[in-house]
Structure 1
Amino acid sequence: MESTNINQSNEYKRRINAVLDHLDQHYASEQGLETLAGIANFSPFHFHRIFKAILGESLYKDIQHIRIEKAAHQLKFQQQKSITAIALDCGFNSSAAFARTFKEYFAMSATAWRKNSIASMYIDPETNHAQWNLDMLSRKNVTIEVSDLPEVQLAYLRHIGPLKGQKKVGQTV
């Protein structure tokens, strides 16, 4: 009986991952519960329950999480684009809603994030964990090495849960 639960759980995760992949590609458009449930081949009610049980957050929160990450990336790498245009392109209904959500997730305004254009992830030499770095230029004796590495298979970790504050993302590693 236990192997049936494991297989069912793996199948549910595979289906939810298909939805997460869809959301990653279509984050800016309105995503209806019935459409997403159809991608996972669940009824809307069952899909919503399974999604929250697997990810630990609601579908709405996960979509918001994806949108805010995409916006943060655009703020950093598309400096010519206005903050309002980025907010609207990432699926936010207004710049006010975007500003509130951005500050909740990153503990700073979108303008401050953009001005501090060196914000990025790096591996902290003391802890060996990925950390948000907002002041990498202040570090001394940074050595960069470019190397050819042998081919390897890679896996990824999908961060599930709140992204509030800079320390939460580092906990994924």
Structure 2
Amino acid sequence: MLLKDQQRVHNAINYVLENITAPLSIAEVAKQVYLSEFHFHRIFKSITNEPFNQFVRRKRLERAFHCLLRYNQPTITEVSENCGFSSSANFSKAFQAYFGFTPSQHRKATPGINSKNGKLFSKYGKEISPATTYNGSLSEQQSDVVKSKIIRIEVVKLADTHYCTIASTQGYAIEGINGAWENMREWLARHNIPMEAGKSAAFCFDNMWLTPEQMCRYESAYVIDDIEWAKQSDVCVRTQKAGRYLAIEYSGKKSEMQQQMQQLYLWILSDYFANTHLNITYEYVIERYINIDCNNDIFHVEVLIKVN
């Protein structure tokens, strides 16, 4: 896949996420990235593993799923408007068809209901329920293990940071992640940019408990100083926006990194945020790779989650 096509899909996704509350057509977005509708549809699906209209609908529903759990309790009408639905009735119908339960049941954590009647389970095999939002939670012992590996957790203010990025074309699958990093290393070498400690990161856009693995968006990222030069090159660029972030510094075994990071995220979503007044923006999660030491089986990462 050409990096130029990745750039166009990257820009299209950014446009969708920035305009998620507005009506969006494939013709409009294709025009934004200077492609015909046919060509745009073809390359979008080949890179994201789902058709454009399905992507937009899924992102709206997943955003609504999280918004309904916010501490400040927006109304269902407010959620439907903020997620780009034409009416609360259309939103409720689409939400139940996809997740298998209503927005009200989700908000109230109604027991005895699961997602087996929804598209999320029938098509993708993802089973959730209002009472156990992320398909269960950690045991007390597992939670204690996660907390024992947390070095630091605090809300910090960060300035803009610019990155060049290359996305996985296999979502969160380890093969896709490794491929994204192989392409990043090749791109940096081609432009004589050395890989330095503390500059590698990843942008993770999707909740692994809600989104099929191959449709999750993972972008390998590397800090770049000359953002204007990067924009003119054959690579995608993304800015970590200035603002308040929940910063969680975490260390574990490199050989168990994928499993340990999943448990960390489950603890954050089902335990930490459930007991705090922080509201997540749900744009993306950033993983800053402070140290990856395969020889000594250690990884050291900082997770950044933008909060209001």
TM-score range relative to shorter protein: 0.5 to 0.7
Aligned pair 1:133/2:134, yes or no? yes
Cα drift, residue 60 of structure 1: 1.4
3-state secondary structure, aligned to 2:140 = coil
106, 111, 116: which is aligned to 2:109? 116
The residue type paired with residue 57 of structure 1 is E
Deviation digits for residues 87-129 of structure 1, max 9, x if unmatched? Answer: 1221111223212322233332212221239xxxxxxxxxxxx
Q: Root-mean-square deviation (CA), in Å?
A: 3.2
Partner of 1:43: 36
More helix by share: 1
Aligned pair 1:156/2:203, yes or no? yes
Partner of 1:74: 67
Question: Judging changes above 3 Å, is the alpha-carbon distance between structure 1 residues 170 and 79 closer, same or farther for their aligned structure 2 residues?
Answer: farther
Cα drift, residue 157 of structure 1: 4.6
Deviation digits for residues 134-155 of structure 1, max 9, x if unmatched? Answer: 5438x33321243149946222
Unaligned runs of 5+ in 1: 1-5, 118-130
77, 83, 87: which is aligned to 1:84? 77
Distance 1:81 1:21 in 2: 25
Asked if the contact 2:62–2:210 (Cα under 8 Å) also holds between the matched residues in 1, the reply is no
Distance 1:17 1:134 in 2: 30
Aligned pair 1:10/2:3, yes or no? yes
For 1:55-74, list aligned pairs within 5 A: 55-74=48-67
Q: Give the paired residue count.
A: 147
Asked if the contact 2:26–2:53 (Cα under 8 Å) also holds between the matched residues in 1, the reply is no
Question: Judging changes above 3 Å, is the alpha-carbon distance between structure 1 residues 105 and 152 closer, same or farther for their aligned structure 2 residues?
Answer: farther
Asked if the contact 1:116–1:134 (Cα under 8 Å) also holds between the matched residues in 2, the reply is no
Partner of 2:151: 147
Identity of aligned residues (%): 24
Deviation digits for residues 23-63 of structure 1, max 9, x if unmatched? Answer: 11111111233331122221223222322333332221111
Question: Judging changes above 3 Å, is the alpha-carbon distance between structure 1 residues 78 and 38 closer, same or farther for their aligned structure 2 residues?
Answer: farther
Partner of 2:45: 52
Cα drift, residue 167 of structure 1: 6.7
The residue type paired with residue 96 of structure 1 is A
Unaligned runs of 5+ in 2: 111-127, 154-196, 217-257, 259-308
The residue type paired with residue 155 of structure 1 is A
3-state secondary structure, aligned to 1:76 = coil
